[in-house]
Amino acid sequence: MNRREFFSTAGTIAAAGAVSSLPFACSDARSFHSRAKNAYKTTLLVVGGGPSGVCAAVSAARLGIETMLIDNGNCLGGMGTKGLVGPFMTCYDASGTEMIIRGLFEEVVERLIAKGGAIHPSEIHQGTEFTAWISEGHEHCTPFDAELLKVVYDEMCAEAGVKVLYHASFLEPVMKGSRIVGAVLLTPSGVEAVEAGMVIDATGDGTVAYRAGAPAVFGDPDSGRVQPASLFFRMNNIDTDALIAEVVPHLPEFRRVNGVSYRCLHWRVAEAEAAGEWDLARKSVNIWRSVEKDQWVANCTRIHNVDATNAQSLTDAEIEGRRQVQELMHFFHKYVPGCEKATLMGTGSTMGIRESRHIHGDFVLPVQDLIDGVIPEDTILLSANSIDVHGAMGGPAGGLYMPIKKDMYGVPYRCLLPANVSGLLLTGRCISAESAAAGAIRVMPPAMALGQAAGTAAALCLQRGCNPDTLDYADLRAALVRAGAFLG
């Protein structure tokens, strides 16, 4: 059964009406193509080298498709490398019994472990220093080393024959009617065009789909907000035994009041606040032990109302993020036992963006389906990641955190299909989903599984000469299972 047939039987086409009335549509004039040098020709172009883009490119190339992967940075991995975000969130079902995100994600983890760059998720338990002592929805996370992750992704792309181009920013799509047939890039060589048989949008922000004319919403249209951004940083030289000894006696005091978390080191934050040495918008800190015992990842900064599609907004956020990191380092040195000599290893080379555009297709994944544990027929990803919407209550530290009560939920193939544009698939953070639903599946293991599904779907479409919306999803699911994905 293909997507059109599925819609007519499932009745989901009704969602299309809502999409067409969205106020947020691309009106930018396209003006660069006529001046671009025709530099590349490829069968599949993947734009964005984050976890989802890498998995899309590798899975398509392994199926024999000539694939080009471009990124505007200098490495693959997106938020997981440039953004220093980690650990990988859980890849298990809600009971923590079975690993349900497998395929390329599992291969990445195995390759990292072989290099000494990760701890297998089966060995990691929630409520410990590896999960910032969070004790719900975090069973079997995967700590990893961001530098080694860059190498693993480079190696996987090279082995699969993916042509990778760094320092290449997507500027605009090349369109033939409503079909995307390539892209214009800004590279150090100038403005260059890529001709492509199909394109996958793995930019996180949905930039390709948006510029090609797909409808999009920014953040949560009901609240008019996006989740806050955070600049991650890493510290080493921490006396981990002393830090654990400081935290563990306070575990019974961990609590959440009116959406505000009083978790790790909230008692030390209160001391700093009383001394006038804390002006950050949170009452506790999230610090996660990494692979090396003295190294910790810190997810503690918070910057509200950042628009990731606006350079000035991003610039202001980066500066504020670094300021907050300095304040936090002072806090760790002065107030936290075990952290007196902590060294700042580095801040992310890019601001951590949790949310920006959500591209809409005919089907928009409702958060209620995740809560209800719905597993649609065209499921291409099973996950149990919690619904995690930071700052959802509008206050400085408030948020919505809802661990999954059912064992798992499914994400349908339909979420990868943008409305109005053919020859294009979505993957990763920007897929067609409600803001709160995206708050659950935006994390890296699901993003990688979505990427594997998008790359496999593109390969099948290119081999069959069909558009993504007519691909038989049963064939896609079978191909994913053959490649090691778990679909139940």
Q: How far is the CB of 279 from ligand FAD (least distance, A)?
A: 20
- Report yes or no: 93 and 488 within 8 Å, Cβ to Cβ: no
- Report yes or no: 263 and 243 within 8 Å, Cβ to Cβ: no
Q: Which of 170, 278, 296, 486 binds ligand FAD (CB under 6 A)?
A: 170
Q: How far is the CB of 9 from ligand FAD (least distance, A)?
A: 30
For ligand FAD (CB under 6 A), the number of binding residues is 38
Q: How far is the CB of 457 from ligand FAD (least distance, A)?
A: 16
The one segment of 7-15, 51-59, 110-118, 417-425 that binds ligand FAD by CB under 6 A: 51-59
Q: Is 381 in the site for ligand FAD (CB under 6 A)?
A: no
Q: Is 146 in the site for ligand FAD (CB under 6 A)?
A: no
Q: Which is nearer to ligand FAD, 42 or 299 (CB)?
A: 299
Q: Which is nearer to ligand FAD, 323 or 333 (CB)?
A: 323
Q: Which is nearer to ligand FAD, 68 or 265 (CB)?
A: 68
Q: Which is nearer to ligand FAD, 450 or 487 (CB)?
A: 450
Q: Which of 156, 202, 367, 433 binds ligand FAD (CB under 6 A)?
A: 202
Please tell me the total number of residues recorded for the chain in this structure.
488
Q: Give the C-alpha separation, 357 to 394, whole Å.
A: 19
Q: How far is the CB of 46 from ligand FAD (least distance, A)?
A: 10
Q: Is 409 in the site for ligand FAD (CB under 6 A)?
A: no
CA distances from 112 to 118, 198, 203, 458 (A): 5, 31, 24, 27
Non-local (6+) Cβ contacts of 229 within 8 A are: 302, 303, 306, 308, 317, 321, 351, 352, 353, 354
Q: Is 391 in the site for ligand FAD (CB under 6 A)?
A: no
Q: Which of 59, 203, 261, 290 binds ligand FAD (CB under 6 A)?
A: 203
Q: Is 173 in the site for ligand FAD (CB under 6 A)?
A: no
Non-local (6+) Cβ contacts of 414 within 8 A are: 3, 6, 7, 12, 361, 362, 363, 376, 378, 432
Q: Which is nearer to ligand FAD, 227 or 379 (CB)?
A: 227
CA distances from 396 to 5, 253, 352, 385 (A): 46, 21, 17, 24
Q: Is 85 in the site for ligand FAD (CB under 6 A)?
A: yes
Q: Is 80 in the site for ligand FAD (CB under 6 A)?
A: yes
Q: Which of 354, 357, 358, 360 binds ligand FAD (CB under 6 A)?
A: 354
Pairing of strands 67-70, 37-47: parallel
Q: Is 455 in the site for ligand FAD (CB under 6 A)?
A: no
Q: How far is the CB of 454 from ligand FAD (least distance, A)?
A: 10
Q: How far is the CB of 203 from ligand FAD (least distance, A)?
A: 4
Q: Which of 40, 88, 335, 486 binds ligand FAD (CB under 6 A)?
A: 88
Q: Is 194 in the site for ligand FAD (CB under 6 A)?
A: no
Q: Give the C-alpha separation, 182 to 274, whole Å.
A: 57
The one segment of 83-91, 129-137, 317-325, 396-404 that binds ligand FAD by CB under 6 A: 83-91
Task: Name which of residues 278 to 307 contact ligand FAD (CB under 6 A).
Answer: 299
Q: Give the C-alpha separation, 454 to 442, whole Å.
A: 15
Considering only CA atoms, which of 259, 233, 237, 229 is closest in space to residue 336? 237
Q: Which is nearer to ligand FAD, 90 or 422 (CB)?
A: 90
Q: Which tokens belong to 408?
A: 């798992």
Q: How far is the CB of 22 from ligand FAD (least distance, A)?
A: 21
Q: Which tokens belong to 167?
A: 């320092």
The one segment of 6-14, 82-90, 174-182, 258-266 that binds ligand FAD by CB under 6 A: 82-90
- Report yes or no: 267 and 57 within 8 Å, Cβ to Cβ: no
Q: Is 268 in the site for ligand FAD (CB under 6 A)?
A: no
String of contacts with ligand FAD for each residue 3-42, x by CB under 6 A: ----------------------------------------
Q: Which of 45, 49, 134, 338 binds ligand FAD (CB under 6 A)?
A: 49
Non-local (6+) Cβ contacts of 15 within 8 A are: 362, 363, 364
The one segment of 86-94, 111-119, 154-162, 193-201 that binds ligand FAD by CB under 6 A: 86-94
Q: Which is nearer to ligand FAD, 108 or 238 (CB)?
A: 108
Phi, psi of 419 (to 5 degrees): -75, 155
Q: How far is the CB of 425 from ligand FAD (least distance, A)?
A: 13
Q: How far is the CB of 94 from ligand FAD (least distance, A)?
A: 16
Q: Which residues bind ligand FAD (CB under 6 A)?
A: 47-53, 70-73, 78-80, 82, 85-89, 169-170, 202-205, 207, 230, 299, 352-354, 428-429, 442-444, 447
